Amino acid sequence: MKANDIREIVGEFESKSNPDDRNASFDYCYNYFRKENNLTGDIEKSCLVLGFYLASWGMLRGSSFLLNRSLKYFESSIQYISTLERSVWNIDVDSYNDENIQQIQEIYNGLKLSLIRNENADLILITKIMLGVFGFVPAFDSCFCKTFRGIANGECGFNRLNVKSLGIIKRFYESNRAVIDNLAKKIFTTDFVTGQKTDINYPKAKIIDMYGFTKGLI
């Protein structure tokens, strides 16, 4: 699973991360949920932050059931997120042990229960939320899954977030630990107010997401 183009591919993604680029929508969402200790204190703002991040990444376009919903639809998801221990923001790919993988799956199911109705598709939407809010898993969109189906070489179809798919992601990280760790140490989120870099590093799972997404566009 060794990849020799991670730095190049991630650099291409990063070059489009100016404060007003859509890539920075991750930064503003991740910063907010990582730092805000009272998500329900101004629940309208929490819904707005999550909703605009999702809109930036195409989750409110015509084919999505969210197109027919208002901002208030996210309220139950915000309430669910607010019940979680702050320690979940410390989970990253390098700590994908049995306990944390189980917790990731439980959070996936909790978000799905709060958001999905009438058997609407959940994989891309829920993993997109988990990436933007927690930063501990890549988003399983079509580009990322295309890349990682190739990397998995038939072992996993990346049609579900489960032990197998998370295991492949961990193995990919372990095979490329040095370069992924180095990029995560060097890339910082952007502050919304100042437009300057914060002291918050990109999670390793976000680096892997950037690689999988950008390479899948080719």
The gap from C-alpha 190 to its chain's centroid, in whole angstroms, comes to: 16
In the numeric block, which tokens belong to residue 32?
């907010």
Angle at Cα 141 formed by Cα 83 and Cα 36, nearest 5°? 30
Tens of pLDDT, residues 71-128: 999 999 999 999 999 999 999 999 999 999 999 999 999 999 999 988 778 999 999 9
Return the HEC string of 103-141.
Answer: HHHHHHHHHHHHHCCCCCCCHHHHHHHHHHHCCCCCCCC
CA of 21: how far to CAs of 29, 143, 196, in Å? 14, 19, 14
pLDDT at 108: 97
- Average pLDDT of the chain, as a whole number: 94
pLDDT in tens, 22-78: 889 999 999 999 999 999 999 999 999 999 999 998 888 877 888 889 999 999 999
Cβ-contact 190, 121 below 8 angstroms: no
Lowest mean pLDDT among 14-28, 72-86, 136-150: 14-28
- Tell whether the model's pLDDT for residue 204 goes beyond 90: yes
Q: Which tens digit of pLDDT belongs to each residue from 151-163?
A: 999 889 899 999 9
DSSP 13-29: HHTT--TTSTTHHHHHH
Residue 206, pLDDT > 90, answer yes
Do 77 and 45 meet the contact criterion of CB atoms below 8 Å apart?
A: no
- CA atoms of 39 and 47, how far apart (whole Å): 9
pTM assigned to the model: 0.94
Delimit the domains of the chain by residue range: 8-216
Segment holding 144, helix H or strand E: helix 142-152
**pLDDT at residue 66 in the model:** 87
CA distance 86 to 81: 10
**Which tokens hold the place of 41?**
């204190």
